[in-house]
Chain A
C-alpha cells in the first residue's frame, strides 16, 4: 500500500487558517491502514484545527468527511461533491494521488495537502511500516529471489553488496535498515541458489521507471 505521514501541524494550519469553511477529506484505503489520513486522523486533525482557531479567536467551521478512495471518481457521490463545492477549501488527507485527483475533479476549489506521501510499503508491526517497492515499472524480484534491490538497497545496486554492509546492516542507516544485499545473499543461501549471483546483472532499464516521464497504464478490454 501507499504509506504516508501527516505534515507538521503548523505547516497544515498555516495553509488553511484563512479559510472560514474548511472541509477535511479523509481516504478510506491505504492512508487509513497506515493511520495517516483515515476517518480517525481526520477527526484528530479537525479537532486540532478547531482548538488552534479558538486559541486565536478565529471563526472557522471545520467539516469532516472520509470516502472509500480519493483516487477513484466513483466514490465522489453527490453528498461529498456538494460538500466540496460548498467549502472555502478542502484539506485532503489522501496521498498525493488523492489530492491531485480532487484537483482534477473540482477545479474551482482550493485543495491543500495534509500528508507527506512516502513509499509503497508493508506493515512490519502495529504502527510501523517499511519500504518494499519503488514502482520501477519492470520488476526484477525474480532475479533476486523476492528481495528488491531497487527499493531496499540504499544505493539501488543491481550487483551488490557495496563495501558499507556491516553486521547485516546498511551503512546509510545502520540502526534501522538491514542491508538488502545481506538479505538477498541469506535468502539465496537458504534456497541453495547462491550460484545465481555469479551472473553479472546488466544495467536496469530505467526508462520504465519515473525517468521515462509520467507513466500510464491502459487495459484496452476494460476501457469504455
Chain B
C-alpha cells in the first residue's frame, strides 16, 4: 500500500528500521515492530505532525545515503544497527525519537499484550480477578503494642 506521506519503498525502509528498534523476539513470540505494521501507523501520523514528518524524512534520507547503492536491506543485522547509530549522530535525536514512538505504539498492540501474558484489551471495563485479602499475613503486626503517641486528651 502506498501511504500518503511515504511511497512503498520508503515505507518498506521504515519498516526495516523499526524491526531494528524492536526486532522479533528470539523465541518468536513477539513480532518485530516493522512486522507489526507500525511503519504504516507512523506514516499516517506524519500527515498531521510536521515535526514527526521532518524527523522521519531526514532520518530515512540519511539511512539511504549511508547504506549506499546496495541499500539497507542488503546489510546484515549488526551492520544495520551500526548504520542506525551513525545516522543518529548525523540526525541528532533520530533514535530516541523513533524509540519513543515505537515503544508507545508497540506496547499498546493486542498481539504484544497477549505475548506479555496480558489480556488483549484495555484494562476497563473488564478489569482483573484477584484473591481477597488474606488476614493471616497480619498476625505479627496484630501482636504489636500501639505505635502512636498519646496526647493530653484521651487517646
**Bind each other:** no
